[in-house]
Amino acid sequence: MIAIRLQMIAGVALALGAAGAWAGATPEEIARLGRDLTPVGAEKAGNADKSIPAWDGGLTKAPAGFDVKKGYADPFADEKPLFTITAANAEQYKDKLSVGQLAMLKKYPTFKMNVYPTHRTAAYPASVAEDVKKFAATATLAANNNGVLNSGSSTVPFPFPTKGEEVLWNDSLRWRGGGTERDWNWYVVQSSGDSYKVGEHERFISAKAGFLEPKTDNLNFVLTAEYSSPATLEGTIYLAWDTLDQSKQGREGWIYNAGQRRVRRIPELCCDFNADGTDGLRFTDQYDGWNGPTDRYDWKLLGKREMYVPYNTYKLTDKSLKLADVVHKNHLNPDLMRYELHRVWAVEGTLKAGARHITPKRTLFIDEDTWQVVVEDLYDSRGNLWRYQDGPTIQYYDVLVPWYALFSIHDLTSGGYIVNQTSFDVAKPWVFGVKGKLADFQADELRRMGTK
């Protein structure tokens, strides 16, 4: 075995032109993908009491009557909750809840968690699975664990994680359909229940997954986000280039200011930067769950645990919903939420000495089947729980993309929260599989796009 591994290490090093490129995934580990592990590295088997079932390929077909113009039909619409977690019985379930979930139950009498049977719906195109297996042996972390090298077009470079950063990079690079074009809104909700809407048209292209031309060595994705509302922000456009090796080159960002009709560079489009229209309720590194550099924190991989998380929340995509149906005072309508028991990776981040971030400690819980953040607890400088984030997940079964139905971030001090990436309130269905050209994602192009 030692001799075989040494031969493979030498072969990989020669192929890459660099010694020491072995990333740690052995042939025996890689052989498990698709066998006792799912194609992206989750455990295929269920748990001992069968409350988490075995993964059987995921949800790959739309239910009868599906019409994307009406939202994503709920394949489990006839199911009833197994039980409901409230402040009165939370102690009974605390070993499967995060600190933030317990705090939400304690703080808001109207908050509850309806727990349903678990369905492991995550499924991917065959090409995604092939790339994960193909590059698992060569993928490695960059300097200071701040990026990914030698992972080709794999969207899960570390299916056998041993470090917190590896789990976070799996989340950052995960499969989101290659490229998307979509309208979506977010709502800033005050403690009184009053809210205002910010609308955005977003175009996201994954260079990592091979959807951007020409091919580039160090780009993860490119993105433009154009505000459509409110009137004070309408026409403002953000442009971001996100990189794979952030130790070599960090993310670059630009903004077109519609009022001034000029483009300027954003010095630091990451971490605790707050975009316009968020009222400081969403950090840039919380966009789409988690993103950006990992070098500001010491990350500890706490292991895997079973947890009640928002999952298969198809009700939240129903385009017949009105805002008042979804957005309630202090939290989303709990009757539209669905919680299931799933296995998640727990990763704890503690701010490094001398580093800057408004939240010095955070714990992220990342679903094993989708590699995306489903829950996050964030702490303030005094060590007190400050914010709670959850990411209701669905399988976009018509395009084989596991992603959010929306996600929300709650400020447990002020009582306000922000709801992100809503689709129930936009007419046009999201488009997946979009390809792009790097020439269309340039600072000069923002001037051409800017019409306000």
129, HSE (Cβ side, Cα atoms, 13 Å): 17
Nearest alpha-carbon partner for 267 in 282, 245, 252, 256? 252
Select the more confidently predicted residue: 62 or 448: 62
* Overall number of domains in the chain: 1
Specify if 128 maps to a domain: no
Specify if 32 maps to a domain: no
Say whether pLDDT at 3 is over 50: no
Give the mean model confidence (pLDDT) for residues 121-143: 97
The amino acid present at 188, given as its one-letter code, is V
What is the pLDDT at residue 250? Answer: 94
pLDDT tens profile 327-352: 999 999 999 999 999 999 999 999 99
Per-residue pLDDT band for 452 (boundaries 50, 70, 90) equals: low
What is the pLDDT at residue 264? Answer: 95
Using CA atoms, how far apart are residues 349 and 141, in angstroms rounded to an integer?
17
Phi/psi zone of residue 171: left (φ > 0), alpha (ψ -120 to 50 degrees), beta? alpha
The pTM for the full model equals: 0.94
Give the mean model confidence (pLDDT) for residues 231-239: 95
Specify if 105 maps to a domain: yes
Specify if 54 maps to a domain: no
Q: How far is CA 280 from CA 156, 237, 319, 363, in A?
A: 31, 19, 28, 20
Per-residue pLDDT band for 451 (boundaries 50, 70, 90) equals: low
Say whether pLDDT at 21 is over 80: no
Token readout for 307 is 């947890």
Strand partners, 306: 343
User: Pseudo-torsion of CA 367, 372, 375, 381, nearest 10°?
Assistant: 130
What is the pLDDT at residue 259? Answer: 83
- Of all residues in the chain, the percent with pLDDT exceeding 70 is 94
Minimum mean pLDDT range among 5-9, 156-160, 246-250: 5-9
214, HSE (Cβ side, Cα atoms, 13 Å): 2
Identify the domain containing residue 354 by its residue range. 68-122+152-449
Q: How far is CA 99 from CA 103, 282, 365, 384, in A?
A: 6, 19, 11, 11
Q: Provide the CATH number for the domain around residue 224.
A: 2.50.20.10
Q: For tokens 């349903």, what's the residue?
A: 116
Specify if 133 maps to a domain: no
Cβ neighbours of residue 203 closer than 8 Å, sequence gap 6 or more? 179, 180, 181, 223, 224, 434, 436
Specify if 255 maps to a domain: yes
Give the mean model confidence (pLDDT) for residues 1-18: 35
Specify if 304 maps to a domain: yes
What is the pLDDT at residue 17? Answer: 36
What is the pLDDT at residue 206? Answer: 98
Nearest alpha-carbon partner for 36 in 58, 54, 59? 54
